[in-house]
């Protein structure tokens, strides 16, 4: 089924980590301009799905297909997926001692060979975006995430997204570890700067991020599968009823 608005197409994806199947057949279709939320408890496979889509070598895809803008994502390594327009906002961003934020972003943009921000405007855009995300200028010359608070790390993830201008951004629990003020800043950053004609996948436990970023679709993951898909109201329902009730219902359905 050809859909020219389709930006990301995940079909029956199965993922193994160290020989254990974690993602057990996930399908997800994202059209241009859409924001999807994937919700679920710890261990439901949300983050594994995010890592697998981004090409982490520990997440072995055993079957299924992933296409992004007509390209077979699974043929590519993590670098190539990024260059093709995929972005992963990490739940636990890495600290890289000795590498400054500004040098890292320059290297990442240079790797794009001009597909992204023009290097001539780099400094200007960089400063603007830092201001938008309320990141102090001094962070530019600090080492990546070295001594950053949880909120600062997440803001730096969004800064990277903004600078790299991906087609599809997967934001893995970007809201976790944020206080309410930081959450607002990050959410506004995402709303302002997320790719307008691209797609966003918000992986989260909680409804609260979705108060600021209205998703087009909400998917609920349970034990490696998407068990329910709906509109923004589904997140509210989940918030009210809790995961356990849903889990009980779904377990009955599949007869576990």
Give bridge partners of residue 256 from the DSSP assignment.
none
Of the candidates 32, 183, 151, 165, which has an alpha carbon nearest to the alpha carbon of residue 87?
165
List the x/- string, 68-87, binding to another protein by CB under 8 A: ---------xxx-xxx---x
Query: Can residue 165 be called a binding residue for another protein (CB under 8 A)?
Result: no
Query: Can residue 57 be called a binding residue for another protein (CB under 8 A)?
Result: yes
C-alpha–C-alpha distance, residues 216 and 233, integer Å: 10
> Given the complex with another protein, which of 68 and 234 has the nearer CB atom?
68
Q: Which residues of 165-201 are buried (b: 16+ CB within 10 A; e: fewer)?
A: bbbbbbbbbbbbebeeebbebbbbbbeebbbeebbbb
> Given the complex with another protein, which of 6 and 81 has the nearer CB atom?
81
Applying CB under 8 A, which of residues 2, 20, 98, 138 lies at the interface with another protein?
A: 98
C-alpha–C-alpha distance, residues 163 and 111, integer Å: 13
Q: Per CB under 8 A, which of residues 191..250 are in contact with another protein? A: none
Applying CB under 8 A, which of residues 160, 165, 174, 207 lies at the interface with another protein?
A: 160
Contact positions vs another protein (CB under 8 A): 54-57, 77-79, 81-83, 87-88, 90, 93-94, 96-99, 104, 107-108, 111-112, 143, 160, 164
């Amino acid at each position: 089924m050809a859909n020219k608005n389709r930006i990301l197409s995940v079909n029956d994806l199965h993922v193994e980590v160290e020989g254990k199947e974690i993602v057990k057949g996930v399908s997800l279709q994202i059209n241009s301009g859409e924001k999807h939320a994937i919700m679920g408890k710890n261990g439901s496979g949300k983050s594994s799905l995010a890592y697998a889509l981004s090409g982490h070598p520990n997440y072995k895809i055993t079957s299924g297909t992933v296409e992004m803008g007509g390209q077979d994502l699974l043929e590519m390594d993590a670098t190539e997926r990024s260059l093709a327009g995929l972005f992963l906002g990490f739940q636990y961003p890495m600290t890289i001692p000795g590498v400054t934020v500004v040098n890292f972003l320059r290297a990442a943009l240079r790797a794009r060979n001009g597909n992204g921000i023009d290097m001539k405007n780099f400094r200007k855009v960089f400063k603007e975006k830092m201001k938008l995300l309320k990141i102090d200028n001094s962070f530019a010359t600090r080492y990546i995430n070295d001594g950053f608070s949880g909120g600062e790390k997440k803001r730096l993830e969004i800064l990277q997204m903004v600078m790299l201008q991906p087609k599809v951004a997967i934001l893995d629990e970007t809201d976790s570890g944020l206080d309410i003020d930081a959450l607002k800043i990050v959410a506004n950053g995402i709303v302002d700067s997320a790719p307008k004609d691209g797609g966003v996948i918000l992986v989260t436990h909680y409804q609260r991020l979705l108060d600021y970023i209205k998703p087009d679709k909400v998917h609920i993951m349970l034990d490696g599968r998407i068990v329910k898909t709906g509109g923004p109201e589904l997140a509210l329902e989940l918030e009210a009823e809790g995961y356990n009730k849903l889990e009980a219902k779904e377990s009955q359905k599949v007869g576990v």
